[in-house]
Amino acid sequence: MVDTVSAHRQPGKVFADMAITNIGQLLTMNPGKGPKRGAEAQDLGIIENAFLASHEGKVVACGPQAVFSEKVELAAGATVTDARGKVVAPGFIDSHTHVVFAGWRGEEYGMRSRGASYLEIAAQGGGIMSTVRATRAASKEELIQRTLGFLDEMLSLGTTSCEAKSGYGLNLETEIKQLEVIQECNRLHPIDLVPTFMGAHAFPPEFKQDRKAYIDEVIRMLEPVRSRNLARFADVFCDVGNFTLEESRLILEEARKHGFELKIHADELENTGATELACELGAVSCDHLIKVSQEGIDMLAGSDTIAVLLPATSSFLGEFPGAPGRKLLDSGAAVAIATDFNPGTCTAMSIPLCMTLACSALGFSPEEAFVAATWNAAWAAGLGGTAGGFGQGFAMDAVIFDTNNYLDVPYRFGTNLVDTVIKAGKPVRSKNNK
Ligand code: NIG
Ligand code: FE
């Protein structure tokens, strides 16, 4: 199949300023409507011996290499990258990260390895609060430089778009600071960032005795965040030791009234019914689901809410195997995978690592892992229909992998197979020129 656009200069040809040629396996993701479920979530839409062409950052055509010169007119000075038989896939979309933070928490990892639980550490003032103290103390410029460094690493691992949450401020000033860092990094870095307001990440100590007062404070933050267009989504950590179901509902309903789309950290540490709440509220995604109930799975299967699974987090927390991935996939739920990159529960930024864990621990097939990290991830990040696949008009965000077999991406566990990353039609990373 060859897609064509009407605006061409030579009759019957599409005009392109960028092309990747001689692709061994092009994973188009077979762009359709909405997130993929069931058998569709196995379909990578592979074209062998293929080309992929774009103009001004958007895909204009793909198809068999044999028809490339017949179908594509290259602009003078066009960038043509010869893939020499390698695999090309859409850039990964990391639909759940906490990428803006100061400090690390290695000592807590040591404590957890010796048997302390995540909640015990949090109760002693560590956990999220430790990162909140560091993030409040850091300057905006420090946070920008740090975040840009993390984004560089993500890009080198094949991520081209990324959701990014606030939630290490827990007061208006620092929440806004984090969201402005996201805005600035989005401007400065090739990775596209989708911002999420997560003032409801934890109760700060100054409000520990008065939960209601902090909930009111989070609700008060919604207006300034929204009116400055600093976040598209609002997210709540609905779990034991954090926000109850009723508190989460209150915050999310208010957020929706302010025009936020919704996400929930759901059923991570214990089952609280947060997945059911996410479906009831029409949340775009509910994330974690390590302890999701059968009722939660059934509701997800019948809803548009995407189950975002974070297998690096569950592994890092020692929660094996993790979320019931196979059950969710078999139920017909739409499933994405993401890193959850943060200093407490997941220090990994690698989507290929998450794909391996999804296959080895959660029961995904490699094909399902690819769909979950690209096409479905785009929907979870609010980028559905514009990225995560190679449909006409989609972002030319592509990764060339140093292999001729896409199975190697999850299989070659721990090796970075990314050869070249193309963002909006421009090569932005290559192995020989990092
Ligand atoms: O997604 N669950 C809540 N938030 C993060 C952890 C944040 C932290 O520990 O700093 C998560 O796991
Ligand atoms: Fe998270």
Res 433: pLDDT? 56
Model confidence pLDDT, tens digit, residues 359-409: 999 999 999 999 999 999 999 999 999 999 999 999 999 999 999 999 999
Distance 422 CA to ligand 2 centre (A): 27
Q: Ligand 1 pocket, 344 CB below 6 A?
A: yes
Res 287: pLDDT? 98
Res 384: pLDDT? 98
The span from the CA of 363 to the CA of 125, in Å, is 36
Percent of the chain whose pLDDT exceeds 70 = 97
Res 6: pLDDT? 44
Distance 254 CA to ligand 2 centre (A): 21
Strands 285-288 and 306-309, how do they pair?
parallel
Whether the pLDDT of residue 4 is over 60: the answer is: no
pLDDT band at 8 (very low <50, low <70, confident <90, very high): low
- As assigned by CATH, the class of the 14-90+388-430 domain is mainly beta
Give mean pLDDT, residues 413-424: 97
Model confidence pLDDT, tens digit, residues 229-240: 999 999 999 999
What is the number of other CB atoms lying within 10 angstroms of the CB of residue 25?
22
- What residues does the ion ligand 2 have nearby, CB within 5 Å? 340
**Atom 3 of ligand 1: nearest residue by CA position:** 237
- Ligand 1, residues 263, 340, 347, 349: which to mutate, most atoms within 8 A of Cβ? 340
Give mean pLDDT, residues 292-316: 98
**Atom 8 of ligand 1: nearest residue by CA position:** 344
Q: Ligand 1 pocket, 45 CB below 6 A?
A: no
- Ligand 1, residues 101, 168, 170, 201: which to mutate, most atoms within 8 A of Cβ? 201
Q: Ligand 1 pocket, 127 CB below 6 A?
A: yes
Distance 296 CA to ligand 2 centre (A): 19
Sorted by where each begins, the domain ranges of the chain are: 14-90+388-430, 92-380
Query: How far from each other are the two terminal CA atoms of the chain, in whole angstroms?
Result: 34
CATH for 92-380, options being 3.90.550.10, 1.10.3860.10, 3.20.20.140, 3.30.390.50:
3.20.20.140
Q: Ligand 1 pocket, 268 CB below 6 A?
A: yes
Model confidence pLDDT, tens digit, residues 18-30: 999 999 999 999 9
8 A C-beta contact, residue 252 and residue 276: no
Position in ligand 1 atom list of the atom nearest CA 343 = 10
Residue 332 backbone phi and psi in degrees, to 5: 100, 10
B/e letters for 100-113, b = 16+ CB within 10 Å, e = fewer, are bbbbebeebbebbe
Residue 5 backbone phi and psi in degrees, to 5: -115, 160
Res 215: pLDDT? 98
305 to 36, 60, 92, 427: CA distances (angstroms): 12, 30, 20, 34
Closest ligand to the CA of 314: 1
Model confidence pLDDT, tens digit, residues 185-206: 999 999 999 999 999 999 999 9
Q: Ligand 1 pocket, 343 CB below 6 A?
A: yes
